[in-house]
C-alpha cells in the first residue's frame, strides 16, 4: 500500500524533515507541499539536501483543491493556523495529522489560557487523538484526526509518565528543565536565534508560562514547573526531570526498572543506565531515557533525549500516520543516530 500525502506548511524545518522522512518511506508518496511564504520556490533551492529526492518539487500556495486525490495530510503550521483549515479537510482525506498546537489540549479553556486566544472550533477537540503512540497506540489505529505532541512534552512525558503510572512519584512539585536546539524556534530568523546570539550562549526562556507546560500537566495529571533553555546546537532536546517519591524504599535500580518494564516492547524507546545524549537520537525517531533515585535529597531524577524534529515532531507524526493508515508502525523511521 502506498498512500499519497500532502504537507501543508512544508517550507519550515518540520516540513523539510517530513519531506526527508517521506523520501525513504515506501508507503508514503508526496503529492503536494505548500509553503505560502515560499510559494513558487523550489524545495531543492531552500533545502539543497532534498534535491536528490525532490528535484522538481516546488512549494505551492495553499488551496483546498490540492487535496483532491490525496489520501492524507500533514499540517506543519503555527498555532492558530490549523483551526482555519482542518474543518475543510476532515472527511475529504482519510487522515489529518496536525503537528501544531491547535488540537492537543482537550479543554478549550486551557487553550485560551496558554495561547491567549479563543479556540475557533472547540467542538473538534475530542475528535483528535493525542499522537503519543506509547500511550495512545490503539486509538491511533484507524484514526482520522491526530494531534502530534509538542517536542518538550514528548521528552518529559516519556521520562516521567511510567513513574506516575506506577505510583512511585508524586504529581505535585514536578520540575522539568529542558534544553533545545535552535531549530525548535523555527526557520524564520529571529533576533535571539541568529548565530551571534546563540553561539557560545545558553539562555532560559518562557519563564513560568511556556505553552508546553499545559501539555505536560495534561499528560502527567500533574502540576509541572517547566523551564526551557536554548542551547547552541541545531537539533535535539534533553529533558532533565525531578520529582518527589510517593513510596518508601526506592533506589536507582527500582526507578530504572519501572522504565525498562514499561518500554520493553516499544520500538523507539531505549532505556539504559547510560546518561542520554542528544547525539544518540540525532536524525531518528528514537528516545533515550534513564532514571535515578538520590537518597541524599530524596529526589527521583528522570532524563530523556530526543531529536526535536524527529520524535519531537516529524518522526512522531509519521509514526502516527503509519498507525492511522494501517502501515507498519516503524516504516520509514530511523532508530540509529547519526554520529559523529
Task: Please give the positions annotated as active site.
Answer: 151
SS3 for 73?
strand
CB atoms within 10 A of CB 126: 10
In angstroms, the CA 261 to CA 239 distance is: 21
In angstroms, the CA 165 to CA 171 distance is: 10
- Do 156 and 228 form a contact (C-beta atoms < 8 A)? no
Give burial (CB, 10 Å; 0-12/13-18/19+) of 320. buried
Strand order in the sheet with 174-180: 203-204, 224-230, 174-180, 237-243, 299-306, 287-294, 269-271
The total number of residues shown for the chain amounts to 340
Give the H/E segment covering residue 220.
helix 212-220
Spell out the residues 6+ positions from residue 165 whose beta carbon is closer than 8 angstroms to its own: 262
- Do 223 and 49 form a contact (C-beta atoms < 8 A)? no
In angstroms, the CA 278 to CA 179 distance is: 10
In angstroms, the CA 312 to CA 139 distance is: 20
Amino acid at each position: 500500500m502506498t498512500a499519497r500525502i500532502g504537507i501543508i506548511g512544508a517550507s519550515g524545518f518540520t516540513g523539510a524533515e517530513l519531506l526527508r522522512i517521506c523520501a525513504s518511506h515506501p508507503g508514503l508518496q508526496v503529492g503536494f507541499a505548500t509553503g505560502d511564504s515560499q510559494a513558487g520556490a523550489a524545495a531543492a533551492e531552500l533545502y539543497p539536501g532534498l534535491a536528490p529526492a525532490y528535484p522538481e518539487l516546488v512549494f505551492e500556495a495553499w488551496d483546498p483543491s490540492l487535496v483532491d486525490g490525496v489520501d492524507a495530510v500533514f499540517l506543519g503550521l503555527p498555532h492558530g493556523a490549523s483551526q482555519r483549515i482542518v474543518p475543510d479537510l476532515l472527511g475529504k482525506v482519510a487522515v489529518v495529522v496536525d503537528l501544531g498546537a491547535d488540537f492537543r489540549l482537550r479543554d478549550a479553556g486551557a487553550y485560551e489560557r496558554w495561547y491567549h486566544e479563543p479556540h475557533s472550533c472547540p467542538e473538534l477537540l475530542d475528535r483528535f487523538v493525542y499522537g503519543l503512540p506509547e500511550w495512545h497506540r490503539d486509538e491511533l489505529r484507524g484514526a482520522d484526526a491526530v494531534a502530534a505532541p509538542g517536542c518538550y512534552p514528548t521528552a518529559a512525558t516519556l521520562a516521567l509518565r511510567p513513574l506516575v503510572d506506577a505510583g512511585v512519584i508524586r504529581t505535585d512539585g514536578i520540575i522539568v528543565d529542558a534544553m533545545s536546539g535552535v531549530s525548535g524556534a523555527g526557520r524564520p530568523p529571529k533576533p535571539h536565534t541568529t548565530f551571534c546570539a546563540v553561539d557560545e550562549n545558553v539562555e532560559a526562556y518562557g519563564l513560568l508560562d511556556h505553552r508546553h507546560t499545559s501539555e505536560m500537566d495534561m499528560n502527567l495529571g500533574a502540576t509541572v514547573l517547566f523551564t526551557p533553555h536554548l542551547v547552541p546546537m541545531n537539533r535535539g532536546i534533553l529533558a532533565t526531570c525531578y520529582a518527589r517519591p510517593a513510596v518508601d524504599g526506592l533506589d536507582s535500580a527500582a526507578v530504572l526498572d519501572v522504565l525498562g518494564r514499561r518500554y520493553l516492547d516499544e520500538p523507539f524507546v531505549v532505556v539504559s543506565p547510560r546518561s542520554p545524549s542528544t547525539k544518540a537520537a540525532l536524525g531518528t525517531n528514537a528516545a533515550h531515557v534513564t532514571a535515578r533515585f538520590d537518597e541524599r535529597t530524596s529526589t527521583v531524577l528522570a532524563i530523556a533525549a530526543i531529536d526535536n524534529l524527529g520524535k519531537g515532531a516529524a518522526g512522531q507524526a509519521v509514526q502516527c500516520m503509519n498507525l492511522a493508515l494501517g502501515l507498519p508502525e516503524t516504516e520509514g523511521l530511523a532508530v540509529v543516530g547519526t554520529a559523529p
